[in-house]
Amino acid sequence: MMTLWQFEAALRALQVLDMQELVDARAIADRDYAAWDAFQADRVKWLLEHPASADAVFRAIWRHRTPASEIEAEAPPDNVVELEDRRGRSERSRSERS
C-alpha cells in the first residue's frame, strides 16, 4: 500500500509526464496525438478511462521516482503544540516545577 507521501509524489510525476515517456512505456502509440491531447486535458480521467494502459502509465510514473522522494520528511521537533491539561498547566511547565 502507498503512503500519502508516495501517492502525492506519484500524482506530481503524473503531471510532468510527456508524450515520449508514455510512448516508451507503451501507454499510447507513437504519434497518437489524439490520445496525447486527451491525456493532457485530464490526466487522471484518462488514466481511469484506460485501465488497460494504467500499468504502462505507472511504469512511466515510477521512472520519475528518486530515492530522496521515497523518504518522508519527519516533522521538526519544534513543530509541536503544547496542550494544557485540565488544570490549566502545560506538560512542560509541570516538568520544570519538579
More confidently predicted of 27 and 4: 27
Q: Which domain holds residue 18?
A: 4-73
Residue 48 inside a domain? The answer is yes
> Is 79 among the domain residues?
no
Residues 7-41: pLDDT tens digits?
888 899 999 999 999 999 999 999 999 999 999 99
Number of domains in the chain: 1
Assigned domain for 69 exists: yes
The three-class DSSP label of residue 90 is strand
pLDDT at 13: 92
| Position 95 in a domain | no
The two most distant CA atoms of the chain are separated, in Å, by 73
Instruction: Determine, yes or no, domain membership for 36.
Output: yes
Segment 30-81, tens digit of pLDDT: 999 999 999 999 999 999 999 999 999 999 998 887 665 555 556 556 766 6
Residue 8: inside a domain, yes or no?
A: yes
